[in-house]
Amino acid sequence: MTLLSVPVIDIAPFRSGTPTERAAVAAEVAQACTDIGFLVISGHGVPEDLVEEMYRTSTTFFESPLETKLAVARPEAGQIRGYSGVEQEGLGLLEDEPVPADLKESFDIGPLDVPTGDPYYTCDAAGAHFAPNLWPAEHPDFERIYRRYYRAMEGLTLEMFQIFATALDLPQDFFVDKVDRHISLLRSNHYPTQPNEPKPNQLRGGAHSDYTAMTILWQEDVPGGGLQVQNKAGDWVDVPAVAGTFVVNLGDSLERWTNDKWVSTMHRVVNPPREVAATQTRVSIPYFVQPNYDAVIECIDSCVDAEHPAKYGPVRNGEYLYLKFTQQNTLASVD
């Protein structure tokens, strides 16, 4: 039976269980990836105190005066670093939808400790993927906490890729050399109060699919919900905010890799009900898993056969991302 809601899966047995238990986790994950493209994972091993510290630090930053945030503003549209203000980004634009920009503000960092003197990180093909990170001077613990959280997400990424490889009948290390010089982004999102009615079709996050391999998300549980995914019946369903868990959703790269066997699903962040919109805020912390910029995304052999020929030709990840980054940050001219 096709999953029409997002399952909660304990991945701890994959790490320390028997072969049978590991296979069971991989099978649950495979079904979620095939049916809905979203899953909620428990047993992930990321310390809860780190998650709480990341949440508090991000909230404190977004509560700072505007001039503090603008001091670390995004340098340019194609360089995803630092602060981006409310209505400066439109996720719906990724789907070529004529919608207003999103009612959120964000802060981004990218790869840490980039080697110096290595042309891989500085050549034209590298673009802005290894641009310096920006750190708010008024928040002295900010860099330490964000760096620690980024490293934790790197570790969880490798574990999820092991599970994915197992679920796809591949060697467990299949994805390792495709993310050993990854260009992943860590973002914190703040959805402010809405004292005024949003514009028509304006959301906290417009409907889109991610152009990542996957996204690992922590989300705050607030009244009225927030994140929704569109299931195969065409219905929008809530993605549960469960204490001690992360949301994992597939992106377009992994959908291409699997020849559409697994799905990169449309999702959105809805506005709070008007009766609480004037006082309700929300924070989410996504980690966008991006393979190496020169990783070739092409259909995996185990997902191709006579009945399912390859739908996509090979494409380098960096070339694909540049087009998407630029599109996302070109605001729609909708009043």
Task: Round to whole Å and give the CA distance between 79 and 83.
Answer: 11
DSSP structure string for 111-160: -SSPPSS-GGGTSGGGTTTTPPP---TT-TTHHHHHHHHHHHHHHHHHHH
The reported pLDDT for the residue numbered 188 is 98
What the block records as the tokens of 5 is: 């809601």
- Read off the pLDDT of residues 184-205 as tens digits, 9 standing for 90 and up: 999 999 999 999 999 999 999 9
The reported pLDDT for the residue numbered 225 is 74
- Side-chain half-sphere exposure of 266, counting CA atoms within 13 A: 15
Instruction: Please tell me the CATH code under which domain 8-328 is placed.
Output: 2.60.120.330
Please, are residues 311 and 143 in contact by the beta-carbon 8 Å criterion?
no
Length of the chain, in residues: 335
The domain spans of the chain are 8-328
The reported pLDDT for the residue numbered 327 is 55
Question: Which residues are CB-contacts of 145 (< 8 A; sequence separation ≥ 6)?
Answer: 50, 53, 54, 57
Task: Round to whole Å and give the CA distance between 260 and 278.
Answer: 41
- Cross-strand bridge partners of residue 297: 315
- Counting as low any pLDDT under 70, the low residues of the chain are 92-97, 323-335
pTM: 0.94
- The conformation of residue 124, written as its DSSP 8-state character, comes to G
- The conformation of residue 76, written as its DSSP 8-state character, comes to B
The reported pLDDT for the residue numbered 322 is 72
Task: Round to whole Å and give the CA distance between 270 and 268.
Answer: 6
- Cross-strand bridge partners of residue 78: none
Task: Round to whole Å and give the CA distance between 150 and 111.
Answer: 8
User: How many of the other CB atoms lie within 10 Å of CB of 186?
Assistant: 24
The reported pLDDT for the residue numbered 332 is 36
Please, are residues 245 and 42 in contact by the beta-carbon 8 Å criterion?
yes
